[in-house]
Amino acid sequence: MLEIVLATRNYNKIREIKRILNDVNVRFLSLEDFPGCPEAVEDGETLEANAKEKALVVSHYTKKLSLAEDSGLEVEALGGAPGIHSARFAGANATYEDNNKKLLKLMEKIPQEERRAKFRCVAVLAKPDGEAVTCEGICEGIIAFDMKGESGFGYDPLFIVPGYGKTFAELGEEIKNRISHRTRALAKIKQIIDKL
């Protein structure tokens, strides 16, 4: 069976990726299976650069296919911020709640019609020889005025999906995993895996 190492230590992402790709005939491994694997330095200027770096570092070390992704929330009224800084928006050791609170504070005077945002995900499948394929997924939405819902992680309590009128955190995993930015990027990766 084909083995792919998920190039992240984020348990929430691992769980979500496995659920999204649950119908792919692959055995997914994690960095827990490779305790000596070095950390990739995420100092790229783009989501693509960071995802590619993670995938290549892990694939090179493990000598296996590696799947990495980097996601960011881009808020129009904030000039695309937090973007690549989404995970550390409120500081180096910020929690999801810290990041959400900072975003709400920056958006408190922004009217409903100017609260457009998009979640962007860049997924990279890398081979040990250095070859890497990049796929992108985008989900458009609006930033809520307060946090709503208990499901998901990250900015899910603030990201309202038009057509549903609810945040990702209110919609729950099943619906989110059908429509999210990560799902859209991974659907393209799945097509590549299916041909391997």
The whole-angstrom separation of Cα 55 and Cα 126 is 6
Give me the catalytic one of 33, 70, 156, 194: 70
- Give the number of other Cβ atoms within 10 Å of residue 133's Cβ: 15
Please name the amino acid found at residue 129. Answer: D
Q: What are phi and psi of 150, to 5 degrees?
A: -115, -10
Told to judge if 23 belongs to the known catalytic residues of this protein, a careful annotator would answer no
Cβ within 8 Å of residue 162, ≥6 positions away: 140, 141, 142
Assigned token pair, 53 = 């770096």
Catalytic center residues: 70
